Each structure stands twice: as C-alpha cells, then as structure tokens.
Structure 1
C-alpha cells in the first residue's frame, strides 16, 4: 500500500488539472472525465521512459514537470523505466529501426536514470517550497522497472493473454506503424505498443494506477493500454477505468525538438552538460519561446509570469524573462548550489568587473569544466599573455584575438 496523507498543498490545489491545461501541458486526453477523476481523490499516475541514454535531457522536462504538478497536488507518481521495452525500441516518431542496446549499457543506463529521477524529485520538492508549503509523506514517488514483470512473461503467456484480446486493425492504423510498413518494420517493434499496453494493465492491477502520461507521439501506445484495460475488465462497471493524457512535444519557435536524436541534447547530468552551459541554454531562449517555457518548465505562478512578460515587453534588452527562466530551471535541476555556480561562471566569462568574485568560488564553478586549466604560479608569472592563453584547449596557439572576443562578448 502507498503511504499517503493529504498535504496542505493538496487542499489548495484540487484543480490541478485546470492548472495543467492553463499552462499548456494538455494536448489530448482519452476522456473528458479525466479532470473530474483527478479531483475526486488521490490517484496513481505513471509516465514511462526507455533507458536509451545514460542521462535524462531537456526533452524529458515536460513529463517530469507534469508529474511534479500532480505529485505536489497529492497524487502518487510512478516513473517507469523501460528495462524490458528499452531493449526492443519504440518505433514512435522514427523512420528507421532503433539499434539494439547491449545489456551492460542498458543496465548502466537504468541505474543512472533511477538515481537521476530520485534526485529530480528531491531537488524539485525543495524548489517547490518557495511557492507553497510542501508537507507530504515519503514514498509518493516510486521508480519501477518494467523488466521486473515483462522479463518473467513467456511468449506463450503474452500471446494467450494480451495478444488474444488485442485487435490488429488499430495497431496497423497507428502512424508509428503505418509510416514504416512500406520500408519494413520488424515484428519486435510492431509489438512494442502491446508491451506498453501490458505495462499499463500491470500497473492498473498491481498499483491501482489509472492514468498514463506521455508525449503526443505516444498517443497510440497509450490508447492501446486504455483499451486493453477496458477489455480485460469488461465484466465490471462500464465507467472509465483508465485514462491517458498526452503532452505537446517540447520544441522551439522554429519547430526544433528537444532531445538527443535531434542532435541538440541538453543533458540534466552536469557531467554531460555543465551547470554553466545548462544555465546559458535557458538564458539564450528567444523572446518567442520564453513565456511558453516559463509556464511549462517552472512553478512560477501564472499571474507572476504575466507580470514578468509585461516587464519584458517594457525593457526587452534586459531579458528579465530569460534570466528568471534560467534561474528557475537551474535551481530545480541542480539546486541552489548549482545556481550559484552558474552565476559565478557567468560573471567570470561575461561580467565587466570581477572584483567581487572570490577565487575559491571561481574554481568551484569551473571544477569539472574544460575551460578551467590548472597551472602553477611559476608557469604563468612573467610569461606573455599570448602564451598563457594557449594553455587552454579552447584557444589555439597565438589566438589572442579569440580571447579578446570571448572576454568582450
């Protein structure tokens, strides 16, 4: 059983579904009764991710934030890592078959994602406290791995249960399959949607999970799960038992997607994307995107966002909205310490005066950054500047002009 007691935030936030709608999270739902379902009592909600990389990236922030809103409103969250489905590969949104991941790599990815998800909720709870008191019992977020049940499922059992009551017509009609039929799609990828449906059925039966959240490219997989649950429990009440909610894909105003496959991944792991680069990414967001991202990727109240945007329009050169966005997202992912590191690094590289910065904080800010090169006093004292700068791998020999442009940008 889940340990649960109402939170002060829950009492103030019964209309969490409306909050999600107003912020732009909701693209499609399988039933218009979802809002009422979420407001009637505490529910269990899951969102899945396959361990195709060692870290989460900015593209994962949308489902993470949607679940965070629901979690803070008193609902139980299951982040589901696809240890089984990840070994197959989801064909959704792809024109070619995914390369299978080696077992050792997959296991390492699962371990890292589990730690990262737990860290996200730990940091985000602290982050949420500045907007509303957070007071809930531990255990409301439970990270699961679908390999623990799908890994035990034999082919014959799968075919005689899930396969027996699944209609192949809708499966063939889904874009993720239909768009691949001409070029060819393997049976492995074709059955992915049934495995995801089986996940939802398992979580429904074993964890009383009634809502699945995913990106808009997951619509077919989500509806397959809702339909499977309806068929399995057809002898019971005809009232909606399971619900699906899809989120819009996180994109820029130019239509570029966030994600590793798009080649522009911004990782949530500071070893892959430094805290400074993470902060700078959000600081450089365009004026066309910043309001949308403030609504989707922060907990800043909507009325406050409206005020920020008014100030932004009055003084666009100050980029107040971008600064607020960068501060909020960096704090949520990397904590207050991470935000301080980002601020120090930004001041070192871009501020006009460095007099207020302490040396130890500068070193700490660039501790794992390739821009920091350690040299002894003997190696730099009395040396020409043009030689000193070449110690950095970022600067080619004699490239004083490059240093000047970096310092003045």
Structure 2
C-alpha cells in the first residue's frame, strides 16, 4: 500500500541511500503510530525501531533509553514535534549522542499561526527555549534560516542552511516508467502539472483561476496530483470557472516523476514554502517551472528567476501570462546541471555529515 509520505521524508530517503552506500549504519526511530516510510525503497540494512509511545514525555524517556542502549554518534529529528522531543532528551543524563534538529518549513509564514497570535508566540517561545539545547539546527533554505533567527528569535545555537537532497538518480529512473493517463500517453494539447497536498498553503484556487484565463487563449489541460481537504472545494470552483473538463485531480500517485516528465510545464502556486521538493525534481527532469515568488524556497531554487519564472502570489493573471509564455517556449534557458547541482542527494548527504562532525563511516551507528 502506498502512502503520501511527503517531501521531508522523500528528501531524507534520498540521503539515506547515499549514507548507506558510503558505509554508514542508519536506524529509523518512530513513535505514536509511526512506521517505516517508503518501505519498498528503504535499504535492507536500515532497521526501524518503534518506541511504542504516544506522549512527548514518555517518548523522550523511551528515546533516551534507546540512545543509552545503541550509543549512536548522532541522532537527527525532522519536524517540530520530534525536534521538541529530542531537545527534551537533553534534560536527562548525557548519552553521548549529538542531537541535531531539522526545520523543513517557515514558522513565521504559517497561516494558521498568523491567525492565532497567542498560539504563534507560544510556539516561538518553545523554539527559543528548547532548540538551543541541541548541538545544531539545520534549516532547509536560507529563508527558513532567516525566519528562525529574525522572526522566531532563535539564539544560542548554530543554525546551518543545508539544501536537502531532492534530486537523486532514482528520480530519473522512475521517470521512465509508464503512466496510465490518457492526457499524458496520447497527448493532444499541452499539459500543466502541479503536485502537493490540497491545502490552503498551496493556493490551488489561484492556479485554477489562472488556468481558466489561460484556456481563454489556448487549449491546455491541468493535472494536480495530491490529496487533501480542499479537493471538493476545488472541484466546485472548477465547475464555476467552466474548466472541469480540462482539470483532473487524480489524488495521490505512487510515482509522480513519470507524470512530471511527460508534462509541458510544472506550476507551483503556494503562499509559503520551506524548500519545495517538486520544483527541484521538475528541474532535475528538465521540465520548465513557473512558480509564485512565495517565501522562501522558490526564489532560492530558481536562482532569482534564472532557472524558472517567478510571479507574485495570489495573482491569477500574472500566473496565466507566465504559463502562456512558458508553453510558447519563452521561459529561461540554462544548463540543467547548473540548476540541480546544489540539490543533489550526494551534495546534501555529505553536507549533513560535515555539520555532524563525522569524518568516516567508522564513527557512525555501531553495526
């Protein structure tokens, strides 16, 4: 059974493959209802250790016991909940493991937090109190790093920007697989693709309104891959705009790369991001990109517009114009390798090891 694990785990999976190839021993530690992500792709040498806990305190205690037993040199957490748990392990006797926290998104740009000032300040206080108890914090983009330092006010700990390894050789291999969709296998007009959870952050209503304007000028089709709570509302909006016949919402697909590789342009309409996997993957597959200039990932990935077209957020007309120009072949021209080099899995995996202070596989988890 396939599950939409999301960009954070996709990037981590790419880096795990590099680490294990280079001789490092890796274990996954989960709690609550956690399970191994992308189990069909996980290297056979990687074990999954389930703590069997739910609450933060119980999980921190169980994690401390695990660290005392296994004695790894480094442990990495990948989102705010696990960051908090790992930081709280610092209150217990030292296990010898260096604790590193990873932040995949901006806190200051979160619409939910912005709408609830008390909750926003409470979370910021948590970060300012607990994150400095780690040995280092990894931000996936310059924008995320600036958000932590300037907006959240994080001090007393090194915050290192390391671009995540979204572009891997397996991406190109899977892109060659077949696709069971008539718009892509028997293409009669250009296809615009977008991918991501159907949630307010991605602002798909703006993309639909832009597509409706584009359809007034030329024939085209739009596919949005992903699931989420806005699916019904998007279907209603598509009918109101008269584009339902040229829009498909197929839900989660196990291999989006094959769909992406057969599209004519990749569109991102988000209102905020940390670092955007799908934009980096599209570049790696040679697919032209049109993206909103949202904080903070797209401008960094597209090098201020050198590798793709940036448009203002929530501006359907500007987005429609950019899509039209790109479909006419008027987007930026560049060498693909120049665009993807910073985001290759090998580059990221080695940058993580450097930040961890690990020089050779012999310093990793005992086998």
| TM > 0.5 fold call | no
Could you say which TM-score interval applies, normalised by the shorter chain? 0.3 to 0.5
Question: TM-score if structure 1 supplies the norm length?
Answer: 0.30
Which structure shows the bigger proportion of residues in strand conformation? Answer: 2
Larger Rg: 1
Which structure shows the bigger proportion of residues in helix conformation? Answer: 1
